[in-house]
Structure 1
Amino acid sequence: MKRNVMVLTMLSLLVLLLSLLSIKVGAVSIGWLDILQALTGRSDSDQRYIVLHYRLPRIVVAILVGSGLAVSGLITQALLRNPLAAPDTLGISAGASLGAVLTVLILPPGQPVWVTPLAALIGGFVGGMLVYGLSYSGGIDPVRLALVGIAVSACGSTLVQLLVTRFAANASTVLLWLNGSLWGRTWDQVIQSLPIIGLALPVTWVLARRLDILALGDETSRGLGLRLEPVRLLLFGFAIALAGGSVAAAGMIGFAGLVSPHMARRLVSRGHRILIPVTALVGAALVLLADMIGRILAPPVEFPAGLVTAAIGAPYFLYLLWREFRPARARA
């Protein structure tokens, strides 16, 4: 218990520290005193605008997106009982990408700012529910769910590539969104994503006990009185909401939903009541760090946060694969 409290405290302080550093660094560096004056309304108008209307909403979006993707990945891994699962596995990210790309490439310019995020959120729900519907056959088998999810994700990604090729004139905007970027995020994106992610996270925490029971296997879960299919569908819906809301706010930030749950499990004991908040903080810290690195590598050029998380997450993913299949090789 003391270890869990200490980890939560340290991660919260880390997220706060990364948030303060994200306000300070960038193409225009701002001093600590200037940041304090901007937050209290005593600085000049230019610095106050940069802090309050450019960097601060970007930080809030990064925290929301990182938390949402991480907890969605934790739910996905629990549902599939597969440590290599992620929101991408269930077709959520592919559906959200397809919805957003359709609005950017097909609709005429000048659409309201909420159209693309709304289309991404709807696309994520459609993709996720399509996977669930195609997988259902008197119940849900985790292996079948994963296989159908991979197939739907592949189809969605192929359609996205076809659209980008067909409408090459707008491809640069789409590619920036597909790589996952927090550039230009405003309070509009905060308002759009906060109700979804801010509601789904605490409700998922309330359902932590059910996630613990699901991890014991279907037979044991039924023996303990858990109604498997309704619970799976409910948790699946929250995984879709968290991932879809995150992708709608910042695009495709890969690997955050895969590696964050594994990092959290190394920090605290098993049990989703503690794993959920720790995973959310790890995801928030990861996306904040990735966005900050992307901004300071070669200013004023910004590297999308999704590219940085991929650079961090890909080696870790390879390590997970190696660790997962190492016992099989040893037995052979």
Structure 2
Amino acid sequence: MDIPLQHTTVLLDEAVDALLGGALPDGPATWVDATFGRGGHSRLLLSRLRPQDRLIAFDKDPDAIQEAARITDARFSIRHEGFRHLGELPAGSVQGLLMDLGVSSPQIDNPQRGFSFRFDGPLDMRMDTTRGESVAEWLATAELQQISEVIRDYGEERFAFPIAKAIVARRQERGPISTTAELAELVAGTVKTREPGQNPATRTFQALRIFINAELEELQQALEASLAVLAPGGRLAVISFHSLEDRIVKQFIAKHSKEVFDRRAPFAAPQAMKLDALERIRPSADEVARNPRSRSAIMRVALRTEAA
């Protein structure tokens, strides 16, 4: 019998409190959980929303869609899509928008998904297993320079070129890499030094996962869409787990939290700021002790200040 894979939602109460911290409209309001995962944030949100409100969730993972089907609350609906599709919602229609980035524990802990070097399984890493190319399929044909650039740019891996060279050499000698154990072993044999306590394959696995799912590009698209769909006074909360994600979120909020002057029209009124940065929240020591995977999480919260 299969044992259900467990997931502990990071910054659960803090995220819901951040979304619900503003003034509510008199009429119905729409909230969005842009990354449903296993539904921790959505379930708590539903328990605190008013009867006239509704919650829309997004997720690419078929397992997440299956989990969402267990929610029978009529106020809830889910779309089997990535959050790049946020812009399809009506302009100014959303009161609160949450993005919880990264990979859920059930995804990491399921060997068949191929996200982790700790378990041997197919080298897949797709968030949506119903479409797209797996990591194994991409590595079977990608050029040396392509592989090196992906591992360098998305994993911030200083040994990116030697790793890419080893992957191509292995492909030529014995055929493409097809399992997580094969890739982890190859990287470990190539990376001779690493930070204490970190597996040599950590950065390479992160890079390939981010690339194959176009995670950073989708995040940028979703953030831009948030400006259109959030109502004035609506709140944006984004939880990130590594520096590449957090840098994008931080820069996006900073960019839109100031007035913009048009140098070509020096006497024209400046364009009003679109966001007001509210807070930056990290997990408590108690949460990190209960759930070590939360230790790198950062949540940034902003308020929509201008009509869409």
* TM-score bracket, shorter-length normalisation: under 0.3
Say which structure is richer in helix: 1
Say which structure is richer in strand: 2
TM-score, normalised to structure 1's length?
A: 0.26
TM-score, normalised to structure 2's length?
A: 0.28
